[in-house]
Amino acid sequence: MRNQVQLIAYADRFGGTIDGVHRLLDEKFSGAFGGVHVLPFYSPYDGADAGFDPIDHTSVDPRLGSWTDIKALAATYDVMADLIVNHVSSQSPQFQDVVAKGRDSAYAPMFLTMSSVFPDGATEADLTAIYRPRPGLPFSAMRLGGELRYVWTTFTPQQIDIDITSDAGRDYLHQILDAVADAGVGFVRLDAVGYAVKTPGTSCFMTPETFDFIAAFTQRARERGVEVLVEVHSYFRDQVAIAEKVDYVYDFALPPLLLYAFSSGDGQPLAAWLRDRPTNAVTVLDTHDGIGIIDAGPRRGEKPGDPIRPGLLTEEQVDALVAGIHERTGGSSQAASGATASNLDLYQINSTYYDALGRDDAAYLAARAIQFFAPGIPQVYYVGALAGGNDSELLARTNVGRDINRHYYDDAEIDAALDRPVVQALLQLCRLRNSIGAFDAADLQVTLAGTVLTLHRGGAQGPRACLTVDLADGSASMDWTDTVGVTGRLEDLRQLLD
């Protein structure tokens, strides 16, 4: 995977088709992105969870294009695709066969029920120990072959959990891996992998068995020339542990720490994380999901009386962070988060990152610059690439909290956004990040003096780059020297807005 900024986008919401995304990258965003994570393009892309509930995970939805379009895109750009390992649509032919035939279906072992995980029954302690992304138990009552069963549904009743330890489950996942590898996809994101292994008597989330599965699947992917990114929202120490076992892990702690730093002027938690974080990371400020809070906060004990493990932010700092986001968005993020708006993930705040920063152009550019200086592969979500605001109209139509950050852009809106100084400045930063050799090394030196954060990449004898940001007002400067002696300096990133 080349060390350049990547775009994250839904094809139907940004370009209209896979080929449309390709043309945008070639033309209107030329030089800004070296790769693209195309969010689920499988059949159908517009199901119960915006493509994360595929009926056929091995086929491209013809409304978006074909595997030929993916191959064409991969010929020019690094392409990432989602591999949804935890579940499949309730409308999939495999599960529909189980609905019709029950235990007699050849696909029955592929899906999890309460009794397949707890064959001897489950105690109250067993059930309350299960880690959940939403309220209630992870089961839905369904008739399978006329028999009422409790089917394991971590997210929604439309998303049926797979038994990845069964022959049928393994075969299914390997077929998907082969399909994307054959299309030239070089990077897969294991979606919801933290929930993929259910072990009785545990939280069923990021257990030792989960790590074993990730390691085995990663090895199989590498044999096909495919790198693996693990997607887990969890306690920050879990991310550090995961990073030791996989190709890449998301740095989900960075977005809330940056928001806290710019809203409070307190850069200590951010500086501490920048010194300690994994370097084999994909850095993001925004994605198709919300802004993770659990990733920076403390971890409460699973049982009453268990000690609280300290986070990168204290509970009081997390509360101040969340309240500040809601205030800066005029309450729109509050209407889209928590137990409101059909949310699946109660530990995230739904808002565009631009709005979460109060539409402060200087702070937004400085936050992106810090993201680009952190070692790893930076990704920019399509709404963030256009400095988009919260889509409260879409939220009102769908009552899906995450839709507030999933706007449908037509060509005219894209052109209008590209005329905005903040968008032009961000794309210039992307091109600089792609061209400066100092970012090829994993080193990072971090200093903090009062509210002034300074980041150094590279050394005195080779390519180097330096970023200085005043967290109190968002002012930032940047200078660099490249391998061929090219030097540059931006006295203030705000000059890019002129």
> Do residues 446 and 271 touch, judged by C-beta distance below 8 A?
yes
Catalytic residue among 191, 266, 295, 403: 191
Residue labelled with tokens 């720490």: 257
The answer for residues whose C-beta is within 8 angstroms of residue 206's C-beta and 6 or more apart is: 194, 232, 234, 238, 242
Rounded distance between C-alpha atoms, residue 68 and residue 76, angstroms:
13
CA quadruple 215, 216, 217, 222: dihedral sign = positive
Q: In 3-state terms, what secondary structure has residue 299? A: strand
Residue labelled with tokens 């920048």: 274
The answer for residues whose C-beta is within 8 angstroms of residue 262's C-beta and 6 or more apart is: 357, 360, 363, 366, 367, 471, 474
Which residues face 78 on adjacent strands? 35
Q: In 3-state terms, what secondary structure has residue 133? A: coil
Catalytic residue among 12, 61, 69, 231: 231
6, amino acid identity: Q
**3-class secondary structure per residue, 135-163:** CCCCEEEEEECCEEEEEECCCCCCEEEEC
> Do residues 86 and 191 touch, judged by C-beta distance below 8 A?
yes
Tokens of 300: 């409460």
Rounded distance between C-alpha atoms, residue 190 and residue 290, angstroms:
17
Binding-site positions for substrate read 49, 87, 189-191, 231, 288-289, 345-348, 402
Q: In 3-state terms, what secondary structure has residue 429? A: helix
Q: In 3-state terms, what secondary structure has residue 269? A: helix
Binding-site positions read 49, 87, 189-191, 231, 288-289, 345-348, 402
Give catalytic status of residue 231 as yes or no: yes
Give catalytic status of residue 191 as yes or no: yes
Residues catalogued as catalytic: 191, 231
